[in-house]
Structure 1
């Protein structure tokens, strides 16, 4: 259970009866291999992203010498998109390797801050951004910076594609079978009134660099890493995240966090 929540959890003791000691050693060997695999993947990802920055900069400089204004603008637009994807890739790599300590966190205040910041960024739809009902006071143990980034990604997605967001924070309750392991959990519902997603895309949207068909333009498309980053962070806290469509339209993100 500890390894599922934190890949850097302390190793199991390797003593006791022979069968238990052997099982402990085998488990610790497996955990070490998992950590090495994740570290290698992260280093590869960030190395590629870092090395791409120099040629992108060179191409931008050379593009300025293109005489055709329309062609130059198209080159620079493509390079800007590529640069954005590289930056997001580096951020994704940093998130998977971050060792931010766990701490006590006022979840209600964190959500309010995220919603206030979203309303400031979109004053034209500020009335459509906020809590659906007065939230309860909820305190959890989490990584504050990581959790804020995860929840902010979800709120920004709702505002971008749903033109508004309503958040519901439910009071803590005992976990159910299949969620966690007997702890108290709280649930956050992040809802919008956008077009929603095809049912077959609801799980696929968590894969890195996957974007919905309606978001594959340079103005709103992003890089396809926001949901992948959010799920990595939330899973790292022992929680869960799911996407679902609302009736008659709209998307609902359900986040479960251990208190």
Structure 2
């Protein structure tokens, strides 16, 4: 039979890689919810602010373009020889919002990287200028950074302009906003066109983008917004963690009591607190705890009474049997009384051997197996042990020792020789016990765990309670016991016991 493929889902994989408690899982899910909501809110806010910023920037650039068109119209009407004089007067009087220069050529601008937003804004400015100056006007529009600009015919950086002209440059502004540069080719008058002097002259206008527009592109989130989102998220998660930690305290108490109930059958009564659902669960557990305590107390009293009440009449019957004169009748009575006494002792030992009130302790499994192996290997080599536990195992020491002794005893009894292998993992301890006997028929593999059941071919002494005791002890440790016939003969017993952290 081919093994079935195993599929791992993200949740199971996460649980294997990073086991999480209730508080951790809740905080993780809440973090995902917060991050998702913050992302959606930021996206909506970005879309709204993008439209608002785009509209405001376009309105501001239209106003700048209108002022620039008025300035260009004024200089177009002046003779070429008078333009420099008027420019100096305007500068001295502070009558212009632009950095203005008259050049004999168009200055190349190291503009910002091309983008759809930049092209849209350049189109807005160009449309206003074309409507005001006419479609025949030759205009060059670009956006650049202040440190990359070159001015005058010599194409010098702004910071290299002589100190006497420093007040005519573009001022440095916090945030280094883009600079709008517009260059216009000024036509010559009719009189100047008839002369042989060079006719081309370019009017250079440049200005910073108005506050608060410090970039052409809208940022999705700036550093202040990111810090604010992180701060609020951390505060929400911290408060939630404190609340969840307080709310799950009753759950931890319930889990601790349930573990004690499963191992010692001596769990304390838990304080009923927390939410309504938790109070109901704790109340149900306390009720069950009281009933189990009462059951165990009644059971102890019952079996103590049975032990006393049955042994006394059996002893009396044995005394009366000794008084019989007929030897054959006397022998039959003694045989029946011995069987009855054996069955009573077996039943009482069964209850004793499966007693679940034993305290759990850290046990060295290697030492236990070595002790049992030495018991059977005193004269002959009956038991071989391969591997070993890497660390002590938390269990009921007497019960575990009795369980292993019963399994090895059966293996030696029916298979003469027993091979034991141990595999220790972080989560479970696996012990495999293989004998070399006849094995167990498949149809009887479950029935052998029933009390007093014996395979017909068996003639050896025993009560038929050994495997029942073993299974009860394994279940008391939340383990798993599997019987299967080995492919090379004999019975293979696989014992899997989970480790408790």
User: Do these two structures clear the TM 0.5 threshold for a shared fold by scoring above it?
Assistant: yes
Offset at residue 86 of structure 1 (A): 1.6
In the alignment, what sits opposite 1:180? Answer: none
2:453 aligned with 1:226, yes or no? no
Offset at residue 186 of structure 1 (A): 0.7
Offset at residue 25 of structure 1 (A): 0.6
Query: Is the Cα–Cα contact under 8 Å of residues 50 and 90 in structure 1 kept in the other structure?
Result: no
Q: Which deviations, in whole Å up to 9, do the C-alpha atoms of 1:134-184 show, x marking residues without a partner?
A: 5354421122222111111111111122223221122x214xxxxxxxxx2
Offset at residue 107 of structure 1 (A): 0.3
Return closer, same or farther for 1:146/1:252 CA change in 2, 3 Å cut-off: same
Q: Which deviations, in whole Å up to 9, do the C-alpha atoms of 1:4-36 show, x marking residues without a partner?
A: 444333445421111221122113223433443
Query: Is the Cα–Cα contact under 8 Å of residues 50 and 86 in structure 1 kept in the other structure?
Result: no
Query: Is the Cα–Cα contact under 8 Å of residues 56 and 83 in structure 1 kept in the other structure?
Result: yes
2:367 aligned with 1:106, yes or no? no
In the alignment, what sits opposite 1:199? Answer: 442
Query: Is the Cα–Cα contact under 8 Å of residues 264 and 358 in structure 2 kept in the other structure?
Result: no
In the alignment, what sits opposite 2:431? Answer: 188
In the alignment, what sits opposite 1:17? Answer: 275
Q: Which deviations, in whole Å up to 9, do the C-alpha atoms of 1:191-239 show, x marking residues without a partner?
A: 2122222223222222222222233x4xx23112222222222322332
Return closer, same or farther for 1:190/1:23 CA change in 2, 3 Å cut-off: same
Query: Is the Cα–Cα contact under 8 Å of residues 358 and 396 in structure 2 kept in the other structure?
Result: yes
Q: Secondary structure at the match of 2:315?
A: helix
Return closer, same or farther for 1:253/1:81 CA change in 2, 3 Å cut-off: farther
In the alignment, what sits opposite 2:393? Answer: 140
In the alignment, what sits opposite 2:319? Answer: 61
Q: Secondary structure at the match of 1:208?
A: coil
Query: Is the Cα–Cα contact under 8 Å of residues 46 and 93 in structure 1 kept in the other structure?
Result: no
In the alignment, what sits opposite 2:491? Answer: 251
What residue ranges of structure 2 are gaps of 5+ in the alignment? 1-257
Query: Is the Cα–Cα contact under 8 Å of residues 239 and 256 in structure 1 kept in the other structure?
Result: yes
Offset at residue 104 of structure 1 (A): 1.5
Q: Does 8-17 or 103-112 show the bigger shift?
A: 8-17
Query: Is the Cα–Cα contact under 8 Å of residues 43 and 93 in structure 1 kept in the other structure?
Result: no
Cα RMSD, aligned residues only = 2.7
Q: Does 13-22 or 52-61 show the bigger shift?
A: 52-61
Offset at residue 110 of structure 1 (A): 0.4
Which of 286, 289, 310 is the equivalent residue of 1:28? 286
Larger radius of gyration between Structure 1 and Structure 2: 2
Offset at residue 114 of structure 1 (A): 0.9
Q: Which of the pair has the greater relative contact order for Cα pairs under 8 Å at 6+ separation? A: 1
Offset at residue 108 of structure 1 (A): 0.6
In the alignment, what sits opposite 1:208? Answer: 451
Aligned residues: 241
Offset at residue 65 of structure 1 (A): 4.2
Query: Is the Cα–Cα contact under 8 Å of residues 189 and 252 in structure 1 kept in the other structure?
Result: yes
TM-score (norm 2): 0.44
Offset at residue 109 of structure 1 (A): 0.9
Q: Distance in 2 between matches of 1:4 and 1:246?
A: 33
